[in-house]
Structure 1
């Protein structure tokens, strides 16, 4: 091998390695934006409770979910050990109706509370009593599921009046 062939081979190898590094850098850079908007939402749950149900047919659930991030998310479903049918309900014009999801905008809070949007547990497997806890799992469009324990409170419990 002469000096000219050695230089050409080294130059080609260096150029190829540089091209690979450039493509890899562009690919990785394309996975997230400069403002972090592709990052996973950061969610925090608070104020969770369930009033003791009047009967074994249905119960309501209430809580707040705060989106601490700059990324929108959506609550898409809830599962529970208490019921195989946990529904998302909204209240508009004092009328309750089932919905498929609740939006959770960036830097905002979803409040599920008495007289407003809430969870409905249908066809209860057991009737929880005050002092019990009900396990639920919140499912989101983007975020990982969040497990929450709902303490069962008195039937007239309303933290908004405290």
Structure 2
């Protein structure tokens, strides 16, 4: 069987695409939006909310850290029951919502109570994308954005 230059070029191009993941669909492309912390009523705990928009391949949020608290945990709420989670999947070409009444962060053993108008440095740790640094503004205790619900 004799290979033509055109057939050989097609094989080389296909191999190159396989090696570079042509289009990068295997790599996550994450954007964090709408991040906020409602001003907490007490000084030792706070909650955090945000949306991760992913226009690439799937990823996993594995942990969160912040100078605000010694420990930041991931939680889900289903049927009014809050449960700590080890991680959250970030779907390919999808969103992961952390919103009131649903998934959220818990800042535990807060070093200093955040006040409305402050900005809190938070690091979101993803399995593939690595660390994403986000400034979480502290909003009024009753703040509830409508943008989280629209995707």
Q: TM-score, normalised by structure 1?
A: 0.77
Query: Which is strand-richer, 1 or 2?
Result: 2
Report the secondary structure of 2:130's partner residue.
Answer: coil
Distance 2:134 2:22 in 1: 33
C-alpha distance in structure 2 between counterparts of 1:100 and 1:55, whole Å: 25
Structure 1 residues 107 and 29: CA distance shift in structure 2, 3 A? closer
Instruction: State the superposition RMSD in angstroms.
Output: 2.0
- Partner residue of 1:98? 84
From 64, 68, 74, the equivalent of 1:88 is: 74
The answer for the alignment partner of 1:46 in structure 2 is: 33
Unaligned runs of 5+ in 1: 1-24
Residue 148 of structure 1 is matched in structure 2 by: 134
| Structure 2 unmatched ranges of 5 or more | 1-12
CA displacement at 1:29 relative to structure 2: 6.4
In 1, the alpha carbon distance for the partners of 2:35 and 2:44 equals 21
Aligned equivalents of 2:92, 2:14: Cα separation in 1: 27
Pick which of 138-147 and 25-34 moved more. Answer: 25-34
Asked if 1:66 is matched to 2:53, the reply is: yes
* CA apart distance, 1:93: 1.2
More helix by share: 1
Name which of 106, 128, 150 aligns with 1:120: 106
- Runs ≥4 residues deviating over 3 A: 25-38
Aligned to 2:117: 131
1:39-93 superposed Cα distances (whole Å, 9 cap, x missing partner): x211001101000011111100000000011x10010000101012100000111
Q: How many residues align?
A: 135
